[in-house]
Amino acid sequence: MSPTTHPEPIRLADYRPPVCEFEEISLDFVLDPDVTTVTSRLKVKTRSGAPETLALDGRELTLKSIKIDDRPLGRDEFQVDREHLTLIDVPSTCLIEIVTTIAPRLNSALMGLYLSNGIYCTQCEAEGFRRITYFLDRPDVMTRYKVRIEADLASCPVLLSNGNPVGGGKLANGRHFALWEDPFRKPAYLFALVAGDLACLEDHHVTRSGRRVALKLYADSAAIDQCAHAMDSLKRSMRWDEDAYGLEYDLDLFQIVGVGDFNFGAMENKGLNIFNTSALLARTDTSTDGDFQQVERIVAHEYFHNWSGDRVTCRDWFQLTLKEGLTVFRDQQFSSDMHSAAVKRIADVMLLRETQFAEDAGPLAHPIRPESYVEINNFYTRTVYEKGAEVVRMLHTLLGAELFRKGIDLYFARHDGSAVTCEDFVQAMADVSGRDLRRFMRWYSQAGTPEVRVTREFDSSTGSLTLEFTQSTPPTPGQQAKLPLHIPIRVGLVGRDGQALPLQLAGENAKGETARVLELTEERQSFTFVGLDAAPVPSILRGFSAPVRLRSDLTKDDLLHLLKHDEDAFNRWEAAQSLAAEAIVQAIRMSPQRQPVPDADLIQAYSRLLEGSIEQDHAFVARTLSLPGRSFIAQQLSVIDVDAMHRVFKTFQETIGRELEAPLLAAYRSMARIDDGSTRTAAMAARTLKNAALAYLVIGQPAKFEPLAVSQYRQSSMMTDRLSALRILAEIDGAAGASLLEDFYGRWQNEPLVVNKWFALQAGIEDYKSPERVEALMQHPAFTLANPNRVRALLGTFSMANLIGFHREDGAGYRLLADKVIELDSKNAQVAARLLTTFGRWRRFDLHRQQMMKSQLERILAVPGLSRDSYEIASKSLG
């Protein structure tokens, strides 16, 4: 065995501009599954104006020939190793021609050019272009692309690339070709090529300035009837970006292609987005309401990247949050304009707290702009994306909508066509507002979730309420000492009678506003509100105005008061969550000595919500009635006791289901009447509440309500209803579950995305038999490690969402995951490394489980030839 050499980290501090520019690249592809020939012609100009040594990136390429200005290079004029082609003394201006071959059929990493169900497609972000040809594969090298694609006409009638089609035709031997030109300079990570037998859905959009843009969605012919929702979403996104930001699309053609094998959701390649079919296809009989919303969101996200990402891109990969944080923020704004803003904010905050907060508290914690990485693919994280979006949101909160928009305008005007940094973004915001944002910049460099504590004091003699805030951030790996941050805290005061009170700070004139933003910049600060008759209940961190953990001294009565009266919908929901979380955490601490029960006040509050007099938005009611997520609760325990957690959640659900039988059943029936089977926001909301009620009812009294779930499964034609019913039936493990699971598979075995749901549902059933069940499912003929969606459905769900099954005390779940990570690592390192992140939580469990998880990490680290991806996650997890 060869000694293990550890890959070296790459550091932000080592950034140097590239030695040369490429004015233009012309790429010629002769497509073949086993030997695709790529000819690249680069118009080179060195920055120094003198000859330079040029180290081009390349991986898994077979080099055929190199010419400089038409002169073939001899063997001693260049060097090739596993990652580079180094050319010595390249003239200051010249034309380099490089011919390489690649094997798309053997490409299981799904980076570079690969085949998915016979369709050629590419994925170049972050560093996939170097698997296509030798190049300076870094985002600050922006080039104009001309592409020629040649392929077999029968198997590849459709040939696509970025920009505009400019020619093509038939060739001998049943081959044909197409020519594409992209007028916009772009970094290599935005290059795309697609070739195959694809069906097309066409439409168009007329921009605000009157230009007509052709819209084309491509998918397998069997799936093209599931593309209408994506097309609608695209048109809405294009309109929204014009209305909200004044940003128009800039080419005459916008294309999206869906492929079944894809490492993540989708990719914003200029003019040719490539999507995982799971983020593109939607039809009510095969997709849930959640899928519809996800498709809409991802279509919007990738479209919005055309400005925040493509027109203005990142200087280097450390700046990834510059485009991702901003684009996630934009897609959040879009979704909240399309549907219920409160429900959208709640969903986003839940995701942030359950996943990003956990990441920020573990061994993989990193700032939204990391300082170093071993493998950049490991940094497409909840922190870079979702916390990154929160940081942009805080700027929006601090500046207000109008100045924020001015800042965005200035940012795009200043930097259009270039590759920039996070400082450039914040500078634009500082320049339009005149604000000092230097302390705010710490959000980009400091990891960890800040904790904000607030206590209050009411002085009845002066009618004033003082809120005293302190902030601190716990240490994270490599960052022991933390500095205070600039934190916007949106607040309101709710009077004893439920009225929103005007907020007047001591020393200020009354303005009559009932909500305002306090700014924390120091470790300790206090604010005194005056003009109050009696002690109000403060409503703090409204709308979750900063990604922090808030610790307040609100009592149970205060929370019940806020749940009833707070004009901020987010904080009404938050009050219910806090009440439930408090009760659950207490019950877990007492378990198993005492039988856990939710308290009567909470049940009563739920009952009032269900009766529907207070809240109009049914999805909001459903969210508010739902218990907090497992991961959110786990973060509040010093040691995660999976068995106690499971028992407590189950008992809480059973009790709520039993005690609220009448209002739950009434809500179920009235929601079923509102539900018209459409995907309008109101119908989706009704289904959300209907299915939340069904789940409580069936868990509360399985024998009594199983038939209701069975009849919903059988009678509904909507996947949302079917899957909700099936999930609950499988979970209670009653008479119907097993046979309906079989029925479900039988109906949908030819729809890959539905088969994924079938795998995920079974992987997520929380019981002690799960490791064996998952093991058996891996033997199912429909299971394959080659498809990332399937791997995520079965192994991802099992390891992330099945607490008692995955963490079973004999370690069977851990062994199973590690076995598969090891098997996958040599095929698709990106997916393997992602699965591996669950083990990073090992310190949170009891010593016995810690030991078992740790030894699986050590076992993985000892694998000879382990990928950089998995090496980085495993070694940091142990570190």
842 vs 850: CA distance, rounded Å: 5
- 687 φ, ψ (degrees, to nearest 5): -65, -35
Two tokens, residue 756: 């994924």
Binds ligand ARG (CB under 6 A): choice among 266, 347, 693, 860? 266
Among Zn ion, ligand ARG, none, residue 264 binds (CB under 5-8 Å by kind):
ligand ARG
598 by DSSP, 3-state: which?
coil
Taking CB under 6 A as the rule, does residue 872 contact ligand ARG? no
575 vs 537: CA distance, rounded Å: 12
User: Sign of the C-alpha dihedral, residues 22, 412, 330, 543?
Assistant: positive
Among Zn ion, ligand ARG, none, residue 132 binds (CB under 5-8 Å by kind):
none
Closest CA to 69 of 39, 91, 88: 91
Please check whether residue 785 is in contact with residue 823, taking contact to mean a CB–CB distance below 8 angstroms.
yes
Binding mask 82-121 for ligand ARG (x = CB under 6 A): ----------------------------------------
Closest distance to Zn ion from the beta carbon of 301 (Å): 6
Counting beta carbons within 10 angstroms of the beta carbon of residue 779, is it exposed (0 to 12), middle (13 to 18) or buried (19 or more)? exposed
Among ligand ARG, Zn ion, none, residue 338 binds (CB under 5-8 Å by kind):
none
Stretch that binds Zn ion, among 255-263, 321-329, 450-458, 496-504 (CB under 5 A): 321-329
Count of residues in contact with Zn ion, rule CB under 5 A:
2
Closest distance to ligand ARG from the beta carbon of 308 (Å): 11
Please check whether residue 299 is in contact with residue 280, taking contact to mean a CB–CB distance below 8 angstroms.
yes
The beta strands (E) that lie in 532-576 are given as 537-540, 549-552
Sequence length of the chain is 879
Nearer to Zn ion, 325 or 764 (CB): 325
Closest distance to ligand ARG from the beta carbon of 376 (Å): 7
Closest distance to ligand ARG from the beta carbon of 125 (Å): 5
612 vs 624: CA distance, rounded Å: 12
Taking CB under 6 A as the rule, does residue 316 contact ligand ARG? no
Identify the active-site residue in 302, 354, 766, 872: 302
451 vs 551: CA distance, rounded Å: 7
Residue nearest to ligand ARG (CB): 380
Nearer to ligand ARG, 52 or 268 (CB): 268
Nearer to Zn ion, 298 or 755 (CB): 298
433 vs 309: CA distance, rounded Å: 24
878 vs 858: CA distance, rounded Å: 8
Taking CB under 6 A as the rule, does residue 268 contact ligand ARG? yes
Element (H, E) at 297: helix 289-304
Nearer to Zn ion, 324 or 766 (CB): 324
598 vs 604: CA distance, rounded Å: 10
Closest distance to ligand ARG from the beta carbon of 114 (Å): 14
Taking CB under 6 A as the rule, does residue 264 contact ligand ARG? yes
Taking CB under 6 A as the rule, does residue 675 contact ligand ARG? no
381 vs 392: CA distance, rounded Å: 16
Among ligand ARG, Zn ion, none, residue 412 binds (CB under 5-8 Å by kind):
none
Nearer to ligand ARG, 329 or 758 (CB): 329
Binds ligand ARG (CB under 6 A): choice among 28, 291, 302, 348? 302
Taking CB under 6 A as the rule, does residue 812 contact ligand ARG? no
Angle at CA 483, nearest 5°, toward 479 and 484? Answer: 140
Q: Where do the H-state alpha helices sit in 305-373?
A: 320-338, 341-351, 357-360
Closest distance to ligand ARG from the beta carbon of 266 (Å): 6
773 vs 346: CA distance, rounded Å: 34
Kindly list the strands in the beta sheet with 52-57, ordered across the sheet, starting from the edge strand earlier in the chain: 52-57, 84-90, 78-80
Full DSSP string of 780-822: STT--TT-HHHHIIIIIHHHHH-HHHHT-TTSHHHHHHHHHHH
Considering only residues 555-594, where is the footprint of ligand ARG by CB under 6 A?
none
Nearer to ligand ARG, 380 or 842 (CB): 380
Closest distance to Zn ion from the beta carbon of 320 (Å): 9
Among Zn ion, ligand ARG, none, residue 825 binds (CB under 5-8 Å by kind):
none
Place of tokens 């805290």: 489
Please check whether residue 733 is in contact with residue 722, taking contact to mean a CB–CB distance below 8 angstroms.
no
Stretch that binds Zn ion, among 148-156, 320-328, 631-639, 690-698 (CB under 5 A): 320-328
Stretch that binds ligand ARG, among 39-47, 145-153, 239-247, 266-274 (CB under 6 A): 266-274
Query: Which amino acid is present at 693?
Result: A
Taking CB under 6 A as the rule, does residue 360 contact ligand ARG? no
686 vs 630: CA distance, rounded Å: 25
606 vs 696: CA distance, rounded Å: 12
Nearer to ligand ARG, 355 or 377 (CB): 377
Closest distance to ligand ARG from the beta carbon of 264 (Å): 5
Binds ligand ARG (CB under 6 A): choice among 377, 626, 724, 799? 377
750 vs 734: CA distance, rounded Å: 27
Taking CB under 6 A as the rule, does residue 275 contact ligand ARG? no
Closest distance to ligand ARG from the beta carbon of 190 (Å): 9
Stretch that binds ligand ARG, among 260-268, 285-293, 509-517, 844-852 (CB under 6 A): 260-268
Closest distance to ligand ARG from the beta carbon of 745 (Å): 31
Nearer to ligand ARG, 190 or 550 (CB): 190
Q: In angstroms, what CA-CA distances link 189 with 123, 185, 234, 389, 734?
A: 8, 12, 22, 22, 51
Count of residues in contact with ligand ARG, rule CB under 6 A:
11
Angle at CA 459, nearest 5°, toward 458 and 462? Answer: 135
Place of tokens 């011919």: 99
DSSP secondary structure code for residue 9 in this structure: P
Please check whether residue 462 is in contact with residue 489, taking contact to mean a CB–CB distance below 8 angstroms.
no
Nearer to Zn ion, 7 or 265 (CB): 265
Stretch that binds Zn ion, among 118-126, 138-146, 325-333, 604-612 (CB under 5 A): 325-333
Binds ligand ARG (CB under 6 A): choice among 21, 97, 125, 721? 125
731 vs 762: CA distance, rounded Å: 9
Nearer to Zn ion, 324 or 751 (CB): 324
Please check whether residue 268 is in contact with residue 302, taking contact to mean a CB–CB distance below 8 angstroms.
yes
Closest distance to ligand ARG from the beta carbon of 75 (Å): 35
Taking CB under 6 A as the rule, does residue 28 contact ligand ARG? no
Closest CA to 841 of 428, 365, 374, 500: 365
Closest distance to ligand ARG from the beta carbon of 300 (Å): 11
Taking CB under 6 A as the rule, does residue 267 contact ligand ARG? yes
Nearer to ligand ARG, 245 or 264 (CB): 264
Among ligand ARG, Zn ion, none, residue 125 binds (CB under 5-8 Å by kind):
ligand ARG
Considering only residues 322-351, where is the footprint of ligand ARG by CB under 6 A?
324
Closest CA to 519 of 629, 440, 417: 440
Stretch that binds Zn ion, among 61-69, 326-334, 342-350, 727-735 (CB under 5 A): 326-334
302 is catalytic: yes
701 vs 711: CA distance, rounded Å: 16
Two tokens, residue 845: 């469990």
Closest distance to ligand ARG from the beta carbon of 267 (Å): 5
Task: Give the binding site for ligand ARG (CB under 6 A).
Answer: 125-126, 264, 266-268, 301-302, 324, 377, 380
Return the active site residues.
302
Task: Give the binding site for Zn ion (CB under 5 A).
Answer: 324, 327
